[in-house]
């Protein structure tokens, strides 16, 4: 279990550990990452450890540089012109 502050620095609400899905992007690529973070029960503020932020930055850099071989593809995205 990670250690988070007990009170939210934004509103003072109670912070609990919770698994959330973050959407990260780099260049034209996007990744969905499930991560355990501290979440304020009152305002929803998410509190990340420095290690989690560093990992997010590493993933975004890989996405930007098209280095996605270690990632599991989920499908394809398409842009559709107006009709």
Tokens of 32: 């969905």
pLDDT in tens, 54-68: 999 999 999 999 999
Which pLDDT score is estimated for 58?
Answer: 97
pTM of the full predicted structure?
0.81
Q: Which of 33, 62, 61 is nearest to 48 (CA)?
A: 33
pLDDT in tens, 12-36: 999 999 999 999 999 999 999 999 9
pLDDT in tens, 2-16: 667 889 999 999 999
Residue 35 forms part of a structural domain: yes
How many structural domains compose the chain? Answer: 1
Quick check: 72 pLDDT over 70?
yes
Quick check: 40 pLDDT over 70?
yes
Domain limits for position 31: 15-64
The number of residues in the chain equals 83
Residue 80 forms part of a structural domain: no
Which pLDDT score is estimated for 78?
Answer: 82
Residue 59 forms part of a structural domain: yes
Region of residue 28 (phi > 0: left; psi between -120 and 50: alpha; otherwise: beta): alpha
């Amino acid at each position: 279990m990670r250690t988070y502050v007990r009170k939210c620095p934004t509103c003072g609400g109670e912070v609990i550990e919770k698994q959330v899905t973050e959407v990260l992007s780099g260049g034209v690529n996007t990744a969905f990452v499930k991560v355990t973070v501290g979440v304020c029960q009152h305002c929803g503020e998410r509190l990340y450890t420095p290690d989690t932020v560093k990992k997010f930055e590493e993933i975004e850099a890989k996405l930007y540089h098209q280095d996605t071989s270690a990632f599991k593809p989920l499908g394809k995205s398409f842009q559709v012109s107006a009709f």
